[in-house]
Structure 1
Amino acid sequence: MSNSATDRAALPPTVWPARGRHTGPDSEEVIRRILRSRKDAGVLDDFVEPPVPEDPARRVFEARWRVDDGTVTVRARLTLVAQQAGREWQLVAEAERPWDEAWPSPATMFWPDGDEAGDGGEAAWDYHPAVAGLRLRTVNPLPADDKDMRRVLRDAAKDAWCVNLVVHEAMTPDTLGRLPLVRRLPPGLVHRVVEHRATPQQFRAVNWALRDLGVEVPRGGAVLLPPDPAPTGYEAQEYAVRSVFLDGSEPTELIAAVSRFAALPKPAPQGAEEALADLRDNWTLMTLEEQLARERGLVAQYAEALEAMTRSRDLYRESAELAHEALAALRDTPAPAVAPAAQPASPFQQLTRAFKGLRPVRDKDAMPGDETGKTDQ
């Protein structure tokens, strides 16, 4: 499969993808504790940890719950993979209808949120998967060094699992202004947005760093870093907010811009298509009705395969019979009459002709005027 973004299709609107890194110890135990607490509270219908025998360093967790007053079922699959700095996680959830960002975040079904985090680094699950130091759910101050700032923004923009929001502070904010803006977003966006903050003095530096990405942050405003490649009809200015008030008020314009941006039909993040296929093809947490439906589907597939094999066998048999009939007809047809070809002379005939050529010529055989047949006088 190609890794090019242009070769990857957009994910269906029913899918919610997210990725991150847990840097604390015992990632599996943290997830198991949260899943048990969610099921005990009635938030989850059920969960399971299916075995992964082919990769002992990999852990998989499945969970199912309902949203929209219990009318829509959501299935989610989280995969943990060991890395040098903690464990990387990928989470793909799929609903029975297009995703509504007002629904609870699938990340909070597996990871602790708010006051639920206990000791031992349980809250350290929200680190950026590709850029060291960046985190979800909080403010990420941009580096003071211009080149480092440029590198951070460039590397963050490459990872399509996250939405990157750059905010410029018009003036040094107070306590309320230092609170993360991402926490004011709808629940379905909180764990997919990385908030970068530039100080008042970094206005020129941040726009220099953003120049290669083709966007610019307004003074005291915000901008969303463009996807790569940008989808058809994408206009960078539509995702820039002129003013962001860091006073604790609702950032209505900013929320609208982030929601529009997240809804763009962008190419699937690298690895997301495989994760979705894994969710659909290897799902184990099924209800009795789902198991029956799956078995009926398998029976139907086997019946179709058997019918196809039977058709192929019949066609082969028919072809063989036609070939035998044609061969028999060819054997029963008399050969056409052919004029005999001139037979070459036998060795005896050739020898006879040679002796005849050596026989002496008699008088009666002599030509008129030939003196060889007369006696000398």
Structure 2
Amino acid sequence: MSFRDDVASFLATTPRPEGLHDYGPTPASSDVAAGRRWQRTLAEHGYACLHWPREHGGSDASVADQAAFAEECARAGVPRQLSMVGPDLVGPVLMGFGSRTQQDLHLPRIRDGRDLWCQLFSEPGAGSDLAAVTTRAIRQPDGSWRIRGQKVWTSAADSADLGLLLARSGGPGPGGLSVFVVPMANQGITVRPLRQMDGESKFNEVFLDDVVLHADQVVGTPGAGWQVAKATLGRERLSLGANAVGMFESIAELETAAAEHGRLDDSLRDEIVKAWIRVWLMRVTWERAIEEETDPSGATFSVLKLLTSETYRDIADLGGAALGPAALEEEQPLVKRMLVGHAQTILGGTSEIQRTILAERILGLPRAPR
């Protein structure tokens, strides 16, 4: 029996917490309770944090097995973990840069779902350019740090127990950054949910007003924040191919909706076929990336991120053609997919950034003026 078969059997036979659904990489506040219970179930059966080393409770799973798990979870309609940030970003960062005390304290609680993390990186003036972060970390005479600044687009900040904070502890540029562990219940932290046009509020603004952190809450050494931040990038791309499952479902939904609304003419049918072909090409690219690349920040995964984002966007736009005037009715199942479709070309690295990476690092074209 293959690993994929084992996963499929587990997902088909294991009881699910009430209210659990595939909420994607980040739970909304209403998803957190079921997500925590599901994470605990995954940990009990050996399916939590598959990519972690065995010494930290993982399975040392191959990239192919990680991807198979993600795809089977998508097919079963369940999240592959409580949240992307803790297992995929914070865990490996603590293993690579954190102290033994930080590892012993936080890793078990990430693995079994006791702690939900958020990532306090992006700012109003520093979204794609993290080297421009301005949130200040001011060292105090007793060795502690006082944090002042604002973060934005922070997923799950309103439910998170802890945050991974990128702040400026020194001068300008990447060399002046440090990374900290921030208990989200600390005094001076204000979280303001941002209502999205699909009705959810998974993103938040976070204000840090003289938040005090202890010296042992620095990850790595002061000034090494850029190296820590770079280590968090790209991990989510291991599961990009799992998006094909949801995209095929979306195509089937919009074809059915178009027929119901009398809009499935030859022109729209041609566009649906083209979208179906693009999803298959995306999935094949994903499989090739898994075979060729062990580093999820590699070039093939940048191609995959670009393909996935823009295919998702274009399928969402087809929903408008399928529904016509009915797209204005909020109760239509396709409407939510349509509303969030264009966000895919922004989150996780914009399409423009992916093209710049490919142009400069793969094609060797001259760097854009800075």
TM-score, normalization: structure 2? 0.26
Asked which structure has the greater CA Rg, the reply is: 1
Q: Which has the higher helix share?
A: 2
TM-score, length-scaled by structure 1: 0.26
